[in-house]
Chain A
Amino acid sequence: MLTIKNLKAKIETSEGDKQILKGINLTVNPGETHAIMGPNGSGKSTLASVLTGREGYVVTEGEVIYDGKDLLELDPEERAREGIFLAFQYPIEIPGVSNVNFLKTAINEIRKSKGEEPMTSVEFLKMMKEKAKLVNIEPEMLSRYVNVGFSGGEKKRNEIFQLAMLEPKLSILDETDSGLDIDALKIVAGGVNKLKSNDNAFIVITHYQRLLNYIVPDFVHVMYEGKIVRTGGKELALELEENGYDFINDLKENAEI
Chain B
Amino acid sequence: MENNLKENKTGIDLTKKLINEFQSYQSKLNGDASGNLNKLRMDAMSVFEKTGFPVKKMEEWKYTNLSPVMNHDFKFSSDLSDSDITQADIDKYIFSAGSVNLLVFINGIFSSELSSVISNNESIFIGSISEGMTSHKEIFDKHYSKYADYNNRSLAALNTAFFPEGAFIYLKKNTELNTPVHILNISDTKVNSVFSQPRNLVVIEEGSKIFIAEDYYSAGDNSSFTNMVTEFYCGKNSHTEHYKIQNEDERSFHVGMTQVHQEQDSHFSNTTISWGGSIIRNDLNSVFDGTNTESHFFGLYLLSGKQHVDNHTLADHKMPNCFSNELYKGIIGDNATGVFNGKIMVREDAQKTNAYQSNGNILLSDDATIYSKPQLEIFADDVKCSHGATSGQLNEDEMFYIKSRGIGDKDAKSLLLKAFVSDVLDSIKIEEFKVNIEEKMEMKLKNILK
Q: Which residues of A contact B (CB under 8 A)?
A: 52-55, 75-77, 79-81, 85-86, 88, 91-92, 94-97, 101-103, 105-107, 109-110, 113, 145, 162, 166
Contacts and interface: CB of A to CB of B under 8 A. Distances in A.
B422 A96 contact: yes
User: Which 9 A-B pairs rank lowest in CB-CB distance, beginning with the nearest?
Assistant: A96-B419, A80-B406, A106-B405, A92-B401, A76-B403, A110-B406, A77-B403, A97-B419, A96-B422
Contact of B407 (A54, A77, A96, A145): A77
Interface in B365-401: 396-398, 400-401
A58 B289 CA distance: 62
A110 B416 CA distance: 19
A106 B407 CA distance: 5
Interface string B388-432: 000000001110111111111101100110111011000000000
Given A75-B403, A106-B406, A92 B397 contact: yes
Q: Which of A52, A109, A166 has the most CB of B within 10 A?
A: A109
B442 to A, nearest CB: 13
Contacts of B408: 75, 77, 109
A157 B305 CA distance: 43
A46 to B, nearest CB: 14
Contacts of A75: 403, 408-409
B404 A86 contact: yes
Interface of B is mostly: helix
A80 B422 contact: no
Interface residues of B, number: 22
A114 to B, nearest CB: 10
B400 A162 contact: no
Contact of A96 (B400, B405, B411, B420): B420
Contacts of A109: 406-408, 411
A49 B408 CA distance: 18
Contacts of A54: 400
Nearest to A49: B400
A92 B395 CA distance: 11
A54 B401 CA distance: 9
A106 to B, nearest CB: 4
23 contacts: A54-B400, A75-B403, A75-B409, A77-B405, A77-B407, A80-B405, A80-B407, A81-B406, A86-B404, A88-B401, A92-B401, A94-B398, A95-B419, A97-B415, A101-B415, A102-B402, A102-B405, A102-B415, A109-B406, A109-B411, A113-B406, A145-B419, A162-B405
Nearest to B405: A106
B406 A77 contact: yes
A88 to B, nearest CB: 7
A244 B412 CA distance: 42
Given A94-B416, A102-B415, A80 B401 contact: no
Nearest to B423: A96
Contacts of A80: 403-407
A53 B400 CA distance: 9
B406 A166 contact: yes
Given A92-B397, A105-B411, A109-B411, A76 B416 contact: no
A145 to B, nearest CB: 8
Contacts of A55: 396, 400
Nearest to A90: B397
A101 B396 CA distance: 20
Contacts of A86: 404
A146 to B, nearest CB: 8
Contacts of A162: 405
Contacts of B404: 52-53, 76-77, 79-80, 85-86, 88
Contacts of B402: 94, 97, 102
Given A53-B403, A91-B401, A109-B411, 13 more contacts: A54-B400, A75-B409, A76-B403, A77-B409, A77-B412, A94-B416, A96-B418, A97-B415, A102-B402, A102-B415, A105-B411, A113-B406, A162-B405
Nearest to B396: A55
Given A102-B415, A109-B411, A94 B403 contact: no
A158 to B, nearest CB: 12
Nearest to A86: B404
Nearest to A95: B419
B18 to A, nearest CB: 46
Contacts of B418: 96-97
Nearest to A113: B406
Contacts of A96: 416, 418-420, 422-423
A53 B408 CA distance: 13
B360 to A, nearest CB: 12
A53 B405 CA distance: 12
Contacts of A105: 407, 411, 415
A187 B58 CA distance: 66
Interface in B49-103: none
A73 B404 CA distance: 15
Contacts of A94: 398, 401-402, 415-416, 419
Contacts of B415: 94, 97, 101-102, 105
A12 B302 CA distance: 33
A75 B422 CA distance: 28
A99 to B, nearest CB: 11
A25 B27 CA distance: 91
A91 to B, nearest CB: 7
B434 to A, nearest CB: 15
Q: Which of B402, B409, B418 has the most CB of A within 10 A?
A: B402
Nearest to A82: B406
Contacts of B406: 77, 80-81, 106-107, 109-110, 113, 166
Contacts of B411: 105, 109
Interface in B199-224: none
Contacts of B398: 92, 94
Q: Which of A101, A102, A103, A107 has the most CB of B within 10 A?
A: A102
Q: Which of A86, A96, A103, A166 has the most CB of B within 10 A?
A: A96
B69 to A, nearest CB: 36
Contacts of B422: 96
Contacts of B396: 55
A76 B400 contact: yes
Contact of B416 (A79, A88, A97): A97
A166 B405 contact: yes
A113 B419 CA distance: 24
Contacts of B420: 96
